[in-house]
A and B are shown apart, each in its own frame.
Chain A
Amino acid sequence: MSIEARGLSKRFGTFQAVKDVSFTVQTGEVTALLGPSGSGKSSVLRLIAGLELPDVGQILIDGEDSTWSSAERRGVGFVFQHYALFRHMTVAENIAFGLDVRKVPAPQVKERVTELLELVQLAGYAGRFPNQLSGGQRQRVALARALAPKPKVLLLDEPFGALDANVRAELRAWLRRLQDEVHMTTLLVTHDQEEAMELADRVVVMNKGAVEQAGAPSEIYDAPATPFVASFIGASNRLEGRISAGRTEVEGCDVDWRGALGAGGQGARDGTTDATIEAFVRPHEIEIRRERGTEGPSIPAAVVRATRLGWQVKIELALPTGRTLTVHQDKEAVDALGIKAGQRVFITLRGAKIFARDIAATASPAAAQLS
């Protein structure tokens, strides 16, 4: 019961919504399509469901070419962001719909509806109408309705997008437990990386209609393949610099990458003679000191603001180039340093994802990831 997308492209008028998208969802696995709004992830899902037809490409569901088969014959369960429950039908009628249209005998339908109502923990709600339910309940009915005809695969389009934050977290945990029970092959579309990381075995990051990177959640976070993934997944500070004639400079300061970044820095010097670089540094990968450090290079900075966030302190720094950085430190560390606004400090980068771009060929950003 796998899903395979091969080179899917789709254009709406002059807008290229999906560009050459390929990925596979293995049987029993949850894969998340993650990206900002307008990245084409929902379009991909609609292509797989048969609600849109691709201009180019192929869709295989359970190994069978479904590219041109109509939506009602694909055997997919689709859950919409805004539930799309049939408002003139009761909860039970909604869940029974997919069975009724297949002419399943009434006793069997009743049995399956009861079973699903229990699965989604809405046993007492069979006779209610959708507008008598809360958002979270509606979405669970939508899920039960999608599961009723026993689809080959489950497609979820921003399933928690319209819910309150706490309901969202609760429903997400519930779906995770449900998934452990039923092991449906699931493709989940979301712009919420937390949701993707929590629910998915694999994440496909999309941007501007194309796939940026596909991999396990930790892979995406630890080893972003493109500058977009580095900046999109988790919080990051983006720094600019250049490597030329063996010297590395970030934000106008010479840095010794060996000291700051270990072995990766050596590769940068040897491998690339002349390049502009983008460095992505996470807020906890920056160390603040009062004095210029002895181990490794330091960049001078000024404290703009220090804000207490529970057990952490968020410190905003301004670099000489005018760029601002966000640093997160434990409260104890900040207290020990006595950091306050206006102070001049030095920072050391403890880690970074660096992307080099050859100056001679700036048009094609090379994914030379050095750390």
Chain B
Amino acid sequence: MASPSGSVAGSGGGSIVVVWSATDSGAIPTSAPPRLLAPSERPSPRPRAGARTWQRWVGRAFVLGVPLAYLAVLLVGPLLAVVAGAFADGAGAFLGAVTSRWALHGFAMTALMSGVAIVFNTVFGVAIAWTICRDRFPGRAALGGLVDLPFAVSPVVVGLMAMLLFGRQGWFGPALAARGIRVLFAWPAMALVTTFVSLPCVVREVTPVLEAIGVNEEEAARTLGASRAQTFWRVVLPNIRWGILYGIALTAARTLGEFGGVLLVSGGLAGKTETATLVIYRHLEERQDQAAQAIAVVLAMASILLLLAMELLKTKRDRDLDSAGRTR
């Protein structure tokens, strides 16, 4: 080791290192002398009181029982009721109801609405999430709030807004009608309303993932010669894919059950502008309870499957969020 007052400025890097490591540790006047670590104390388990065991059991039963009872009354009960109703006239009646002309058309319309909403909200949802996370402009925070608006506004109000826009006296209605394009009381308006009410799903799921993964990998890709498009497809998209899929599942779940907004703009043309929920509604009005319940069971089944898919996707997405924290 070199002497501290020796050739500090000398060319030998080693001697410099030694002097620093020695002086740096002592240069701060307030630095305390190194402390010895106290031996770790292991908490010893306290003996349990055996006398009040029955009280603990009562307490535990109460804490566990109340939420379970609540769930049974609110969730399981209605589900069982609707399944029982659907099969009240036997399996044949159930199959007949869910394969009727009305039902099949209703399912097809629901699938179409969901499909349109998923396509548009995925493409634009990712674009909006990107803008919120990566661009810096005045009103960025406001945009983040605005995106949630469709969740806050009642779908009926959304339907009303669509009517005001595309109705006969609406802003766009006359111009579109003149070109022979029918929006209101046809599937385009229904798709529009469905898309609107499910807009936040993808945005809200992708935004936190984009925030968590940060810009590091994107910047690395850029310095390695990747264009913006290459960076997006090869680096960003694989990182947010589970978030996007979760958002899509959420969109599907939200759109399957959409009713109020669609009801307003559909015009209720039986067999023409009816989604599955609207078919249920009409069957109930026509006092065909069994048919209504049968279709309801199919929708409920679809929702439960989506729920399972979402649980799966959630763990994958959370892993992306976690690894973002770890590798950064």
Contact = CB atoms under 8 A, between A and B. Distances in A.
A101 interface: yes
Interface in A99-119: 101-102
A194 interface: yes
A97 B235 CA distance: 10
Given A235-B23, A283-B27, A316-B29, A78 B239 contact: no
Q: How large is the interface on A (under 10, 10 to 19, 20 to 34, 35 or more residues)?
A: 35 or more
Contact of B22 (A72, A236, A309): A309
Interface string A141-163: 01001101100000100000000
B11 A284 contact: no
Contact of B27 (A50, A72, A311, A326): A326
B124 interface: no
Nearest to B12: A218
Interface string B82-119: 00000000000000000000000000000000000000
Contact of B217 (A84, A307, A316): A84
Nearest to A135: B327
A76 interface: yes
A324 B324 CA distance: 46
Nearest to B11: A218
A282 B20 CA distance: 11
Contacts of B21: 194
B10 to A, nearest CB: 7
B313 to A, nearest CB: 16
Given A80-B220, A88-B238, A307-B33, A235 B27 contact: yes
B191 to A, nearest CB: 34
B46 interface: no
Contact of B328 (A51, A82, A217, A221): A82
A250 to B, nearest CB: 18
Contacts of B13: 197-198, 217
Contacts of B4: 283-284, 312, 328-330
- The interface centre, meaning the residue of A78, A138, A234 with most chain B CB atoms within 10 A of its CB, is A234
A77 B16 contact: no
Interface string B110-154: 000000000000000000000000000000000000000000000
Contacts of A35: none
A367 B224 CA distance: 42
B168 interface: no
Contacts of A70: 222
B164 interface: no
Given A312-B22, A326-B26, A87 B220 contact: no
A124 interface: no
A71 B3 contact: no
Contacts of B20: 193-194, 234-235
A87 B323 contact: yes
Nearest to A89: B238
Contacts of B9: 218, 221-222
A259 B33 CA distance: 35
Interface in A302-316: 307, 309-312, 314, 316
A102 B17 contact: no
A297 B204 CA distance: 73
B19 interface: yes
Given A72-B227, A86-B220, A97-B226, A283 B326 contact: no
Contacts of B17: 194, 197-198
Contacts of A49: 223
A155 B222 CA distance: 14
Interface string B8-47: 1111010011011111111101000100000000000000
Contacts of A222: 8-9
Contact of A97 (B19, B26, B224, B239): B224
Contacts of A217: 13, 16
Contacts of A142: 220
A283 B224 contact: no
Nearest to B6: A284
A97 B221 contact: yes
B219 interface: yes
Contact of B26 (A80, A221, A314): A314
A131 B323 contact: yes
A83 to B, nearest CB: 7
Nearest to B241: A88
B23 A51 contact: no
Contacts of B326: 131
Contacts of B22: 309-310, 312, 328
B51 interface: no
B8 A235 contact: no
Nearest to B20: A194
B83 to A, nearest CB: 42
B1 interface: yes
A221 B4 CA distance: 14
A285 interface: yes
Interface in A191-222: 193-194, 197-198, 217-218, 221-222
A227 interface: no
A101 B324 CA distance: 24
A311 B3 CA distance: 9
B323 A101 contact: no
B180 interface: no
A237 to B, nearest CB: 8
Given A221-B16, A328-B26, A330-B4, A84 B216 contact: yes
Given A72-B222, A84-B217, A193-B20, 5 more contacts: A71-B223, A78-B220, A235-B23, A312-B4, A328-B23
12 contacts: A49-B223, A80-B216, A82-B328, A97-B226, A101-B234, A149-B225, A193-B20, A198-B13, A283-B23, A283-B27, A316-B29, A328-B26
